Amino acid sequence: MSRDLLAGLRPPPPPTELRVRVLAAAHRAAPTVASPSRRRESLLDRLWAARWLRLAWLGAVLVLLAIHADLAGRDAPTRVPMPTYAETAGDGSFDLFRPRPSPWTLAQFRNPTTEPGLGL
Protein backbone atom coordinates (compact mmCIF):
# COMPACT_ATOMS: atom_id res chain seq x y z
CA MET A 1 0.00 0.00 0.00
CA SER A 2 2.70 2.42 1.02
CA ARG A 3 4.65 1.33 -1.99
CA ASP A 4 1.67 2.19 -4.16
CA LEU A 5 1.46 5.56 -2.51
CA LEU A 6 4.91 6.44 -3.82
CA ALA A 7 4.77 4.35 -6.98
CA GLY A 8 5.76 6.15 -10.13
CA LEU A 9 7.71 8.72 -8.19
CA ARG A 10 11.37 8.91 -7.48
CA PRO A 11 13.71 11.45 -5.95
CA PRO A 12 15.11 13.83 -8.56
CA PRO A 13 18.60 12.90 -9.76
CA PRO A 14 21.55 15.10 -8.91
CA PRO A 15 22.42 17.69 -11.53
CA THR A 16 24.99 16.51 -14.05
CA GLU A 17 27.41 19.33 -13.27
CA LEU A 18 27.56 18.21 -9.65
CA ARG A 19 29.81 15.29 -10.57
CA VAL A 20 32.56 17.54 -11.85
CA ARG A 21 32.20 19.88 -8.91
CA VAL A 22 32.29 17.13 -6.31
CA LEU A 23 35.21 15.24 -7.80
CA ALA A 24 37.19 18.44 -8.29
CA ALA A 25 36.59 19.42 -4.67
CA ALA A 26 37.58 15.96 -3.48
CA HIS A 27 40.68 16.04 -5.64
CA ARG A 28 41.66 19.45 -4.28
CA ALA A 29 41.09 18.38 -0.71
CA ALA A 30 42.86 15.04 -0.99
CA PRO A 31 46.47 15.00 0.17
CA THR A 32 49.03 14.49 -2.58
CA VAL A 33 50.25 11.32 -0.96
CA ALA A 34 47.62 8.85 0.06
CA SER A 35 46.78 8.85 3.71
CA PRO A 36 49.39 6.83 5.62
CA SER A 37 46.73 5.15 7.70
CA ARG A 38 45.13 3.89 4.49
CA ARG A 39 48.42 2.63 3.12
CA ARG A 40 50.20 1.38 6.19
CA GLU A 41 48.96 -1.86 7.60
CA SER A 42 49.45 -2.70 11.20
CA LEU A 43 51.09 -5.92 12.31
CA LEU A 44 47.71 -7.32 13.33
CA ASP A 45 46.28 -6.55 9.88
CA ARG A 46 49.16 -8.33 8.20
CA LEU A 47 48.84 -11.27 10.56
CA TRP A 48 45.16 -11.52 9.75
CA ALA A 49 45.62 -11.10 6.02
CA ALA A 50 48.12 -13.93 5.42
CA ARG A 51 46.98 -17.47 6.04
CA TRP A 52 50.46 -18.86 6.75
CA LEU A 53 51.04 -16.12 9.33
CA ARG A 54 47.74 -16.99 10.99
CA LEU A 55 48.72 -20.66 11.08
CA ALA A 56 52.18 -19.80 12.43
CA TRP A 57 50.59 -17.68 15.12
CA LEU A 58 48.20 -20.47 16.05
CA GLY A 59 51.03 -23.01 16.08
CA ALA A 60 53.13 -20.85 18.36
CA VAL A 61 50.24 -20.47 20.78
CA LEU A 62 49.62 -24.22 20.79
CA VAL A 63 53.30 -25.00 21.39
CA LEU A 64 53.40 -22.56 24.29
CA LEU A 65 50.27 -24.10 25.78
CA ALA A 66 51.74 -27.60 25.45
CA ILE A 67 55.00 -26.55 27.11
CA HIS A 68 53.08 -24.86 29.89
CA ALA A 69 50.97 -27.96 30.50
CA ASP A 70 54.04 -30.19 30.47
CA LEU A 71 55.99 -28.03 32.90
CA ALA A 72 53.01 -27.58 35.17
CA GLY A 73 52.57 -31.36 35.41
CA ARG A 74 56.23 -32.18 35.86
CA ASP A 75 57.61 -29.69 38.33
CA ALA A 76 54.59 -28.97 40.43
CA PRO A 77 55.72 -28.40 44.06
CA THR A 78 54.30 -30.81 46.61
CA ARG A 79 51.86 -29.21 48.94
CA VAL A 80 52.94 -29.19 52.60
CA PRO A 81 50.06 -28.77 55.01
CA MET A 82 50.37 -25.95 57.47
CA PRO A 83 51.09 -27.20 61.05
CA THR A 84 48.36 -26.61 63.56
CA TYR A 85 48.88 -24.82 66.85
CA ALA A 86 48.56 -28.04 68.78
CA GLU A 87 51.41 -29.54 66.76
CA THR A 88 53.75 -26.64 67.26
CA ALA A 89 52.81 -25.52 70.79
CA GLY A 90 55.35 -27.73 72.49
CA ASP A 91 58.34 -27.05 70.32
CA GLY A 92 58.81 -23.43 71.40
CA SER A 93 57.85 -21.87 68.07
CA PHE A 94 55.38 -19.52 69.70
CA ASP A 95 57.51 -18.53 72.67
CA LEU A 96 58.26 -15.19 71.14
CA PHE A 97 54.59 -14.35 71.08
CA ARG A 98 53.86 -15.11 74.72
CA PRO A 99 53.21 -12.00 76.87
CA ARG A 100 56.07 -11.12 79.11
CA PRO A 101 55.48 -9.98 82.70
CA SER A 102 55.18 -6.22 82.92
CA PRO A 103 57.60 -4.36 85.19
CA TRP A 104 54.69 -2.13 86.37
CA THR A 105 51.94 -3.21 88.71
CA LEU A 106 48.37 -2.06 88.33
CA ALA A 107 48.59 0.02 91.49
CA GLN A 108 51.39 2.03 89.97
CA PHE A 109 49.12 3.45 87.29
CA ARG A 110 47.37 6.66 88.37
CA ASN A 111 43.72 7.09 87.77
CA PRO A 112 43.31 10.67 86.50
CA THR A 113 39.67 10.91 87.60
CA THR A 114 40.32 10.01 91.23
CA GLU A 115 43.75 11.41 91.74
CA PRO A 116 43.24 14.51 93.93
CA GLY A 117 46.38 16.28 92.96
CA LEU A 118 45.58 16.44 89.27
CA GLY A 119 42.46 18.62 89.69
CA LEU A 120 40.33 16.98 87.09
Partner 1 sequence: MLPSTSLAKTERPTADGGADLELVFRRFAAGESPALAQLYDLCAAELYGLALWRCGSRSEAEDAVQEVFVRLATTTADLSRVRNPRAYLLTMARRAACDLLHRRHPGEPLGALVVAAEVTHPTVVVDAERASHHLRALPAAQREAIYLRHFAGLTFAEIGAITGVPKFTAASRCRNGLDRLRTLLGVEL
**Which segment (31-39, 63-71, 73-81, 103-111) binds partner 1 by CB under 8 A?**
31-39
The verdict on 13 binding partner 1 (CB under 8 A) reads yes
DSSP 40-59: ---HHHHHHH-HHHHHHHHH
**Which segment (13-21, 50-58, 68-76, 87-95) binds partner 1 by CB under 8 A?**
13-21
Residue 8 falls in which region: left (phi positive, over 0), alpha (psi -120 to 50) or beta: left
**Which segment (12-20, 75-83, 85-93, 98-106) binds partner 1 by CB under 8 A?**
12-20
Dist. CA 88–CA 30, nearest whole Å: 81
The verdict on 120 binding partner 1 (CB under 8 A) reads no
State which of positions 34-63 bind partner 1 (CB under 8 A): 34-35, 37-39
Phi, psi of 47 (to 5 degrees): -60, -40
- Nearer to partner 1 by C-beta: 25 or 67? 25
